[in-house]
Amino acid sequence: NAGVMQNPRHLVRRRGQEARLRCSPMKGHSHVYWYRQLPEEGLKFMVYLQKENIIDESGMPKERFSAEFPKEGPSILRIQQVVRGDSAAYFCASSPPGTEDEKLFFGSGTQLSVL
């Protein structure tokens, strides 16, 4: 059973470009979460999604950031018009349905570098 898969592992963008980060949850998991780890800071919650629904996006910046988890395919975190302050490690996690007391399983992350 493959774990949470994130790609790419490393992504380099120039200021103003778009960044797309992909996350495939573990098999059987229908809940996806995105977290961001800024340099020298702890991980911060961004968004919680279920298939075709955003459940909690209270941690998402108001502009330029969006997330989706379509019925088919991976979850996508999209950052438009990237700025240097977006440089961070972005982690995706997943969990099975109906398991509020279960562990979250994390991917290896995508390191975004904005030049």
Partner 1 sequence: KQEVTQIPAALSVPEGENLVLNCSFTDSAIYNLQWFRQDPGKGLTSLLLIQSSQREQTSGRLNASLDKSSGRSTLYIAASQPGDSATYLCAVGAQKLVFGQGTRLTINP
Report the interface residues with partner 1, using CB under 8 A.
4, 6, 31, 33, 35, 41-45, 48, 55-56, 58-59, 91, 93, 95, 100-109, 111
User: Measured from the CB atom, is 82 or 94 closer to partner 1?
Assistant: 94
User: Measured from the CB atom, is 52 or 56 closer to partner 1?
Assistant: 56
Least Å distance, CB 80 to partner 1, is 24
User: Measured from the CB atom, is 79 or 93 closer to partner 1?
Assistant: 93
Taking CA 68 as the corner, what is the angle to CA 90 and CA 89, rounded to the nearest 5 degrees?
5
Least Å distance, CB 56 to partner 1, is 6
Sign of CA dihedral 63, 11, 51, 26: negative
Q: Specify whether the CB–CB gap between 99 and 45 falls below 8 A.
A: no
Least Å distance, CB 74 to partner 1, is 16
Least Å distance, CB 16 to partner 1, is 27
User: Measured from the CB atom, is 19 or 49 closer to partner 1?
Assistant: 49
Q: Specify whether the CB–CB gap between 77 and 89 falls below 8 A.
A: no
Taking CA 47 as the corner, what is the angle to CA 44 and CA 53, rounded to the nearest 5 degrees?
170
Query: Using DSSP, how many helices (H) and how many strands (E) does the chain show?
Result: 0, 11
